[in-house]
Amino acid sequence: MESYEIIIEGMVQGVGYRYFATNQARIYDIVGYVKNLYDGRVKIIAQGEENNLQNFIHHLHQGPRQAHIADLHQSLFVGAEKFSDFSVRF
């Protein structure tokens, strides 16, 4: 199981992006969390099988209809806690 930290930039707050990410995580059997950052970006910690993670990330690039994704950064996340579900954090 791999772990990624994903940072999404653009118009991604106030457009349902966290709930979109949660829905996609359920589809692809991803655990972890999503949260808004104070600077307007969204952060995701995602754990799952590599193929599922890549499909998940592909959909994160698209986002919900109202979102505009300017950039998405992903990096392997070493030492992440083990999650049992995917949640929205505040």
Q: Hey, which bits of 1-90 come out as E strands?
A: 2-11, 31-36, 42-48, 68-76, 86-89
Q: What is the DSSP letter of 85?
A: S
Q: Which residues are catalytic?
A: 18, 36
